[in-house]
Amino acid sequence: MRHRNRGRKLGVSPAHRKAMGRNMVQALIDHERIVTTVEKAKQFQPLAEKIIHLGKTDNLNNVRRVVKLAGNRKLENEVTATETAGEGKDKVTKTRTLAKTTIQKLFRDIGPRYKERNGGYTRIIRMARTRVGDNATQCIFELVASPWTKTEKK
């Protein structure tokens, strides 16, 4: 019986589980949509929600809490914005860097996007096909207000 036993072991050691959660949340923040197994997504969804909730307010205490939860990895994943002006020969394309690390992207881009939302920042969409190697059920783990999601404002 599993009374009052929360969480999943996922077939790995506790240290590996912690690292896997940090890596998954970091990939979710970087790419805003990842494909993983349903069990892993369900296990790490609360961690992702907590980190995104901390990213809504930009103060030093929240930055420190996010670094503690998500790990202090300085991944150089540049977030860039491309702006184009003019036409033909006069066309000018400017690229500017919005953020260099995952934590910067969380506080500058993702956090302000969810200012008016009170939770429910992620969604799990089950995929019909299973993984070829081990027949594991797969899902898409994504942020709700991502660029792939079309929302109609009424």
Encode 86-100: b = buried (16+ Cβ within 10 Å), e = exposed. eeeeeeeeeeeeebe
In this prediction the pTM is: 0.79
Tell me, yes or no, whether 126 lies in a domain: yes
Tell me, yes or no, whether 54 lies in a domain: yes
73 or 85: whose pLDDT is higher? 85
Tell me, yes or no, whether 3 lies in a domain: no
Q: State the total domains in the chain.
A: 1
Tell me, yes or no, whether 51 lies in a domain: yes
Structure-token match 């003019």, residue found: 86
Q: Over the stretch 19-58, which tens digit does the pLDDT of each residue have? A: 999 999 999 998 899 999 999 999 999 999 999 999 999 8
Q: What is the pLDDT at residue 100? A: 76
Looking up residue 33, the CATH number of its domain turns out to be: 3.90.1030.10
Burial of 50 (0-12, 13-18, 19+ CB in 10 A): middle
Q: Which helix (H) or strand (E) holds 63?
A: helix 60-70
Tell me, yes or no, whether 93 lies in a domain: no
Q: Which helix (H) or strand (E) holds 22?
A: helix 14-31
Tell me, yes or no, whether 43 lies in a domain: yes
Assess contact for 25 and 44: CB atoms under 8 A.
yes
**φ/ψ bin of 105: left (φ > 0), alpha (ψ from -120 to 50), beta (otherwise):** alpha
Tell me, yes or no, whether 42 lies in a domain: yes
State the DSSP code for 48: H
The domain containing residue 42 runs over which residues? 16-73+112-143
Tell me what the mean pLDDT of segment 66-86 comes to: 75
Residue 82, pLDDT > 90, answer no
Tell me, yes or no, whether 69 lies in a domain: yes
- CA separation for the pair 44, 8 (Å, rounded): 10
Q: What is the pLDDT at residue 149? A: 67
Assess contact for 129 and 138: CB atoms under 8 A.
yes
Assess contact for 111 and 122: CB atoms under 8 A.
no
Q: Over the stretch 119-149, which tens digit does the pLDDT of each residue have? A: 999 999 999 999 999 999 999 999 998 776 6
Q: What is the mean pLDDT of the chain?
A: 88
